[in-house]
Amino acid sequence: MKDFETVLLEALMFREDFYKKVIPFINTEYFHNKPQQMLWSVIHDFIIKYNACPSKEAVSIGLEKFKGISQGEYDQCTEMLDQFTKKSTEEHNLEWLVSETENWCKEKALYNGIMESIQIIDGRSKDKNKTAIPDILSGALAVSFDTHIGHDYLEDSEQRYEFYHTIEKRIPFDLEFFNSITAGGTPTKTLNIVMAGTGVGKSLFLCHHASNCLSQGMNVLYITCEMAEERIAERIDANLLDTTLDSLRDLPKDVYDRRIESLKTRVKGKLIIKEYPTASANTNHFRILLEDLWLKKRFKPDIIIVDYLNICASSRMKAGAVNSYTYIKAIAEELRGLAAERNVPIWSATQVNRSGFSNTDIGLEDTSESFGLPATADFMFALISTEKLDEMNQIMVKQLKNRYNDTASNRKFVIGINRAKMKLYDISGTDQPMMAEGNIEVEEEEEVKFQTKFSKKKFSDWKV
């Protein structure tokens, strides 16, 4: 009876429909038998070079040219090759072949990972220490096939119809207007950006949204490159415990403990806050963190918040080696890639530039450092504060980019802000002062134009 490695090699020799699905996922190290490994190398090299199944003669010639092969190994390879027949491999169902090959790859990857870990533990590894073991095992456990090669427009119309009628997973806000402009919340695999000047409320918004998601029973990962972990937790405490920051510091320990215990009964999600030094962490650090959280805490986030994008590092480029446009755009692309990879929405923030700092009508052109950031983001809005708004405990929101809905709808609106409690809240549509003022200004402007247009005409110019 043939072992599976022999069945696999035989199928690669004669079945084009099979090798096209599996060839990218098979690793030479998965073959522990030396002659089988040699046969695989020759077959693999032929397929990659000519994009076709090799003949027995081609494989035989490849074995003769194989460097380092002994006569005994050559004889074993030739003996296996002689037993391969097209008729034998055509008896196997393609789906079964692919499925069994995937299981075989997973088993071999895990075995190799365990053996490599043992070598590290025994001190026999020259270039790796024990800290590398979690990554090795995680990589082995993550082995899987992705055989999807694209969407066939005509053949896959039924799948497309189902997609149109599938309710997309979204993370809703606790703010009415934000749900309205995003059609119910932010989808997964997206990058969402809040832009504002210094001290306006970027971190406040991110902390409030983290509190909202936690209250909904979601797992939240909050990565801070600016403030300490305890400072972020303090802001979320103020929000969820409904107390001011000043009062929070004066709370007796027993009162604080009781409130936290009460919070645990209401909140089913989990929040992890991780601090990195400014400009030192990139998406590779975040990936390692996500793996560690899963291995050590079985924690998988539903949403990731990065506070904030401009003070992260790029995993592809060195700071100072390129201009700020390219560098910040690279960070944005990497974060969006991480969002797609982990199937979560990522929220972050950015500063306004010098001209935007004093501007009461911020636009995309006011983005600091790189216009490549709004080009990459899926959803981006500005927080605008004025003395008048501050007096009313309000802050204006202006949509800048929105892939979820039409930006013309509710382009500007205001929300309430309680800075002491790190909270945001809705202001009813009828009480939207800034929107109302904007409409009045437009009406007055149109009336002035109308009056000016006809005031210049003389009565003699009119025809009856």
CATH of the domain at 185: 3.40.50.300
User: What share of the chain in percent tops pLDDT 70?
Assistant: 91
pLDDT at 462 over 70: no
Question: Both ends of the chain: CA-CA distance in Å?
Answer: 106
- Residues 416 and 330 occupy one common structural domain: yes
Q: Where are the alpha helices (DSSP H) in 301-386?
A: 324-342, 354-357, 372-376
pLDDT at 319 over 60: yes
**What is the tally of helices (H) and strands (E) in the chain?**
20, 11
> Which of 41, 31, 18 is closest to 91 using CA atoms?
18
Beta bridge partners of 348: 193, 306
Task: Give the per-residue pLDDT at 437.
Answer: 47
Phi-psi region of 279 (alpha: psi -120 to 50; beta: other; left: phi over 0): left
Q: What is the rounded distance in angstroms from the CA atom of residue 143 to the CA atom of residue 107?
A: 9
User: On the CB side of 431, how many CA atoms lie within 13 Å of its CA?
Assistant: 7
- Residues 250 and 363 occupy one common structural domain: yes
- The number of residues in the chain equals 464
What is the chain's alpha carbon radius of gyration, rounded to the nearest angstrom?
31
Task: Give the per-residue pLDDT at 431.
Answer: 66
Task: Give the per-residue pLDDT at 313.
Answer: 93
Q: What is the rounded distance in angstroms from the CA atom of residue 312 to the CA atom of residue 226?
A: 9
Encoded tokens for 352: 């306004």
Tell how strand 220-224 and strand 303-307 pair up.
parallel
Report the pLDDT averaged over residues 180-198: 94
Task: Give the per-residue pLDDT at 361.
Answer: 82
Contact (Cβ atoms closer than 8 angstroms) between residue 181 and residue 336:
no
Beta bridge partners of 347: 192, 305
Q: What is the rounded distance in angstroms from the CA atom of residue 283 to the CA atom of residue 227?
A: 19
Contact (Cβ atoms closer than 8 angstroms) between residue 136 and residue 114:
no
pLDDT at 293 over 90: yes
- Out of 6-20, 57-71, 146-160, least confident range: 146-160
pLDDT at 441 over 60: no
Task: Give the per-residue pLDDT at 354.
Answer: 75
Give a yes or no: residue 125 inside a domain: no
> Which of 166, 423, 236, 209 is closest to 302 using CA atoms?
209
- Residues 85 and 183 occupy one common structural domain: no
- Residues 184 and 97 occupy one common structural domain: no
Phi-psi region of 93 (alpha: psi -120 to 50; beta: other; left: phi over 0): beta
- Residues 94 and 177 occupy one common structural domain: no
Q: What crossing angle do the helices spanning 34-50 and 4-14 adopt, rounded to 10°?
A: 20
Could you list the beta-strand ranges (E) of 279-411.
Answer: 303-307, 345-351, 379-384, 394-402
The CATH number of the domain holding residue 43 is 1.10.860
> Which of 59, 105, 95, 99 is closest to 79 using CA atoms?
59
- What's this model's pTM, rounded to 2 decimal places? 0.68
Contact (Cβ atoms closer than 8 angstroms) between residue 240 and residue 189:
no
Encoded tokens for 139: 């990589």
- Residues 68 and 216 occupy one common structural domain: no
Give a yes or no: residue 124 inside a domain: no
Report the pLDDT averaged over residues 295-312: 93
- Residues 185 and 310 occupy one common structural domain: yes
User: Please, which pLDDT band fits residue 192 given cuts at 50, 70 and 90?
Assistant: very high
> Which of 444, 432, 337, 452 is closest to 392 using CA atoms?
432
pLDDT at 212 over 90: yes
Give a yes or no: residue 113 inside a domain: no
User: Please, which pLDDT band fits residue 421 given cuts at 50, 70 and 90?
Assistant: very high
Three-state SS string across 127-173, please?
CCCHHHHHHHHHHHHCCCCCCCCCCCCCCCHHHHHHHHCCCCCEECC
Give a yes or no: residue 122 inside a domain: no
Q: Which residues contact 345 (CB under 8 A, 6 or more apart)?
A: 171, 186, 187, 188, 189, 190, 191, 192, 303, 304, 339
Give a yes or no: residue 76 inside a domain: yes
Picking from 61, 89, 108, the residue at the C-terminal end of a domain is 108
Task: Give the per-residue pLDDT at 208.
Answer: 96
Count of domains for the chain: 2
Judged by DSSP in three states, 198 sits in: coil
Task: Give the per-residue pLDDT at 160.
Answer: 87
* Interior/surface letters 341-356, b for 16+ CB within 10 angstroms, e for the rest: ebebbbbbbbbbeeeb
Higher pLDDT among residues 115 and 436, named by residue: 115
pLDDT at 413 over 80: yes
- Out of 211-225, 340-354, 387-401, 448-462, least confident range: 448-462
Task: Give the per-residue pLDDT at 439.
Answer: 41
Q: What angle do CA 206, 210, 212 make, to 5 degrees?
A: 115
Mean pLDDT of the chain: 87
Q: What is the rounded distance in angstroms from the CA atom of residue 11 to the CA atom of residue 94?
A: 10
- Residues 286 and 414 occupy one common structural domain: yes
The predicted-structure confidence for 330-342, as pLDDT tens digits, reads as follows 999 999 999 999 9
Task: Give the per-residue pLDDT at 148.
Answer: 67
Report the pLDDT averaged over residues 37-58: 94
- Residues 85 and 220 occupy one common structural domain: no
222: buried, middle or exposed (CB in 10 Å: 19+, 13-18, 0-12)?
buried
Judged by DSSP in three states, 108 sits in: helix
Task: Give the per-residue pLDDT at 450.
Answer: 40
Beta bridge partners of 382: 195, 398
DSSP structural state of residue 300: -
- Residues 52 and 186 occupy one common structural domain: no
Tell how strand 423-425 and strand 303-307 pair up.
unpaired
Q: How far is CA 137 from CA 109, 243, 286, 420, in A?
A: 9, 45, 18, 46
Task: Give the per-residue pLDDT at 454.
Answer: 43
Report the pLDDT averaged over residues 248-266: 91
pLDDT at 257 over 90: yes
Give a yes or no: residue 83 inside a domain: yes
Give a yes or no: residue 445 inside a domain: no
Give a yes or no: residue 340 inside a domain: yes
Residues spanned by the domain of 66 = 4-108
- Residues 214 and 71 occupy one common structural domain: no
Backbone phi, psi, residue 164, to 5°? -60, -30
The predicted-structure confidence for 67-101, as pLDDT tens digits, reads as follows 889 999 999 999 999 999 998 888 899 999 999 99
Task: Give the per-residue pLDDT at 147.
Answer: 63
What is the identity of the amino acid at 204?
A: L
User: What share of the chain in percent tops pLDDT 90?
Assistant: 63
Picking from 75, 91, 108, the residue at the C-terminal end of a domain is 108
DSSP structural state of residue 426: -
Task: Give the per-residue pLDDT at 353.
Answer: 82
- Residues 425 and 276 occupy one common structural domain: yes
